Structure 1
């Protein structure tokens, strides 16, 4: 079974195409299941759209849900369209996000940490002039936040758990195995899945999130895995699905999962 749970569209302000474009691209790519998972609005600010090029407007949120549900009905029997969302994890706003997200019939919610210390994980400049101790502290905080997001119970899937390497490939070499392993233990205990996200190829790091080294740890700790292209243009829907499946089997995985009505569905590899 072929599925892709991580796709975006024009509402977030940094992706191309409408939702129907992604559904049609999913059919063309041979998917049986496609999850639509655009970025939530930023609920930590009273304005309608605090970050126009990062997240959708609050006034578009209900329209987004309605459009996905309409397409789910329209494409029934052709492709299973799932209502997902990608939500940032902000500890200080977690309960606000939880209350709003719980009011809608999401099949799943992807929880992603996109910033630490108020700075984007993709900001190359954040690393300039830092010594080893400071780099380790940043990496430690990144994995502490991911672990906290898993404990929150808000998410079925955690997004791109080593994406901090995206525009700073040397992130992977920062020696902080303890925080990573502790994070993976928490994820396993929480029963949350992590995604293999193929959008790393669009960043300086290349490749996928997470690295093979992390996936080997993920298998050891018994964390379930899923697939997401993180497509920001329709042509990337399902990108490298077969290659990811093959690599997972080489590592030792025998299955992966997707979510429908927040229930985990296991699929053999």
Structure 2
């Protein structure tokens, strides 16, 4: 069985193509399941569209849901279209986001930390001038947020859990026990992590998370799913077979996807 749970489209302001184009690409790629999971609006803001190049407007969110549900019905029997969302995680606004998501019939919600210390995790300038101790503190703050997101109960999947390395590859070598601690928390909370193949579009190359983290995730009993994090239709299902083979080598025998908020286990 072939699936991809992490995809975007033009509403977020930094992806190409309409939702239908991603579904058609999934069919052409032989996928059985395609999850649509565009970026959540900034619900906490009084502005309808706080950052137009990052996420959709609040007023667009109901239309996004309606379009996915309509396409789900249209493509029934050809491919299973799932309604998802990639949600930012801001601890101070968690309850607001939780209440917004209760309004809609999501199949799953991906929780992703995109800001740490008030700065984008992809901002390479955030590392300028930091000494080793400060770099460790920055990495631990990021993983503290991921732990909080796991404990929040809001999410089925945690997105790209080492994406801070995207434009700063040295991130992976910053020493801290916080990564293992976080994997233990994720396992205890019963949340999955994704293998996200969009790292290949960043300076770091490769996938999120690293093979080393995947090996430790297996050790701690963390469930795994797959997402290309496609921002253009041509990346749907990218490296799916390679990821599946790597997970088998690590020792995984199955991975998961979510439908109607229920985890479904699939043999690798």
TM-score, normalised via structure 1 length = 0.99
Separation of aligned partners in 1, 2:224 and 2:102: 23
Report runs of 4+ in structure 1 exceeding 3 Å deviation: none
Q: Distance in 2 between matches of 1:159 and 1:211?
A: 13
Distance (Å, rounded) in 1 between the aligned partners of 2:40 and 2:128: 30
- CA distance in structure 1 between the partners assigned to 2:196 and 2:238 by the alignment: 9
Residue number in structure 1 paired with 2:69: 69
Separation in 2, partners of 1:30, 1:227: 15
Tell me if 1:29 matches 2:29. yes
> C-alpha distance in 2, partners of 1:112/1:27?
27
Kindly provide the CA deviation profile for residues 139-195 of structure 1, in whole angstroms up to 9, marking residues without a partner as x: 00100100100000000000000000000000001011x111111111001000000
1:144 aligns with 2:144: yes
Q: Does 1:127 align with 2:124?
A: no
Counterpart of 1:81 in structure 2 is 81
- TM-score scaled by length of structure 2: 1.00
* Matches for 1:203-214 after TM superposition, within 5 Å: 203-214=202-213
Query: Structure 2: how far apart are the matches of 1:59 and 1:102?
Result: 16
Aligned partners of 1:48 and 1:194: how far apart in 2? 30
Q: 2:246 corresponds to which residue?
A: 247
Q: Work out the CA distance in 2 between the residues paired with 1:44 and 1:90.
A: 10
Match of 1:236 in 2: 235
Asked if residue 259 in structure 1 is aligned to residue 258 in structure 2, the reply is yes
**Which runs of no fewer than 5 residues in structure 2 stay unpaired?**
none
Displacement of 1:103 in angstroms is: 1.1
How far apart in 2 are the matches of 1:40 and 1:88? 7
Structure 2 counterpart of 1:165:
165
Query: What residue is the counterpart of 1:194 in the other structure?
Result: 193
Cα RMSD of the aligned pairs, angstroms, is 0.4
Aligned to 1:96: 96
* 3-state secondary structure, aligned to 1:108: coil
Aligned counterpart, 2:46: 46
SS state at 2:263 partner = strand
